[in-house]
Amino acid sequence: MTCQYNFSAGPSMIPRAVLNQAQEELLDWHGTGMSVMEMSHRSKQYLPIIEEAEAGLRDLLSIPKNYKVLFLQGGAITQNIMVPMNLLANRSASYVASGYWSKRTYTDAQVFSNINMAASSESINYTQAPNMKSWNFSKQDAYVHFCLNETIHGVEYFEDPKIDEVPIVCDMSSNILSRGIDVSSYGVIYAGAQKNIGPAGLTLIIVRDDLLDFADKKTPTTLSWKIQSDNNSMINTPSTFSIYMAGLVFKWLKEKGGLKEVEKFNIKKASVLYDFIDQSDFYYNDIDISNRSRMNVPFRIKDDSLTMTFVAEAEKKGLYQLKGHRLVGGLRASIYNAMPIEGVNALIQFMKEFEKNNT
């Protein structure tokens, strides 16, 4: 059995070219005689690696100068606690629930006081993201939190919020770098790396510098954005190898033509797959067309009893990880930046054959 294409939601595919480069450099990075994994994070060999990674990211997203970039750990879920610890300062905050992850963020934050729901689409099973105009928050809130792309439900916002009164905190774990965004529309952006950035173990934070001064005094040093920022993400040892890999991915995206080109490519991949699902009487996707995720495409077979056979037969063809999340069932194809169009075409070809053999 060989994997042709990996549709995992995360950890997920990393561009082949990046893996090849990492392999070439694995034992001896640029004539240092060391692997990146063996380097002191404070050494003169390693510093250019983290600096280039940050510069690459700033360039891709056109991050304004008054935003800090942090390379932390703990995954997106640790931010569920770090966001209130670093921002709340005994005020209130509002949360939008557009799927499993943002609802979980809201629930996790309940250990703090005055955490409110701004809008939720739970009652319609998250088939649509609550319209940004419907978000019900208070101007006194410390922040409004939402998730730009719901990885499990396949629900994505395609606009940046235009809200000036309150800083917006956004979980972009599964669609960061899939297209350009206006960073200045956000107060804080965070993302676990293992979907569209690189290996697991790295969490990216982009934070407007005036938001660094609200941390609760009891915030541990490693969890304080401010202290990490003052120490270039090195108040403790950062995930050095993942940062190196992320830097290679940023270069790869730049070589692809930057995020404008990457977006075109992602639109194409997602639309061929949705078009195929929509014309079929065998498969379906019930997410509102205006919110259909370009990164995570959940779909179902009308005869649900065929789902596990689909997954097993797809795997025999080298199409991996098509099973839907255990909470929602069905099927899901995650088609992040690293998934080539050939992978989507191979999936569609398999779906056609499976339909033919089972009707």
Ligand X SMILES: *Cc1c(COP(=O)(O)O)cnc(C)c1O
Binding site as annotated, residues for L-glutamate: 42
Binding-site residues, please?
42, 101, 151, 171, 194, 236-237
341-357 and 307-316 helices, crossing angle to 10°: 130
**Catalytic residue status for 29:** no
Query: Cα–Cα distance between 312 and 321 in angstroms, integer?
Result: 10
The minimum distance between CB 282 and ligand X, in angstroms, equals 28
Q: What are the b/e assignments for 71-103, b being 16+ CB within 10 Å?
A: bbbbbbbbbbbbbbbbbbeeebbbbbbbbbbbb
Catalytic residue among 29, 68, 101, 323: 101
Tell whether residue 224 is a contact of ligand X (CB under 6 A). no
- Minimal distance, residue 77 CB to ligand X, in Å: 3
Residue 233: CB minimum distance to ligand X, A: 17
- Residue written as token pair 């960061």: 176
Stretch that binds ligand X, among 60-68, 166-174, 209-217, 340-348 (CB under 6 A): 166-174
Q: Count the site residues for ligand X by CB under 6 A.
A: 12
Task: Please state whether beta strands 188-192 and 168-171 pair in parallel, antiparallel, or not at all (unpaired).
Answer: parallel
Residues paired with 334 in a beta bridge: 296
Task: Please give the residues from 190 up to 209 whose contact with ligand X meets the rule CB under 6 A.
Answer: 192, 195
The CB density around residue 302, as the number of other CB atoms within 10 Å, is 10
Instruction: Choose between 151 and 232: whose C-beta lies nearer to ligand X.
Output: 151
Given 6, 121, 173, 233, the residue binding ligand X (CB under 6 A): 173
Residue from 108, 141, 171, 252 carrying the catalytic annotation: 171
Other CB atoms within 10 Å distance of the CB of residue 306: 17
Is position 265 an interface residue for ligand X (rule: CB under 6 A)?
no
| Binding pattern for the stretch 62-91 against ligand X, x by CB under 6 A and - elsewhere | -------------xxx--------------
- Region of 199 (left: φ > 0; alpha: ψ -120 to 50; beta: rest) is beta
Mark whether 101 is an active-site residue: yes
The residues annotated as belonging to the active site are 101, 171, 195
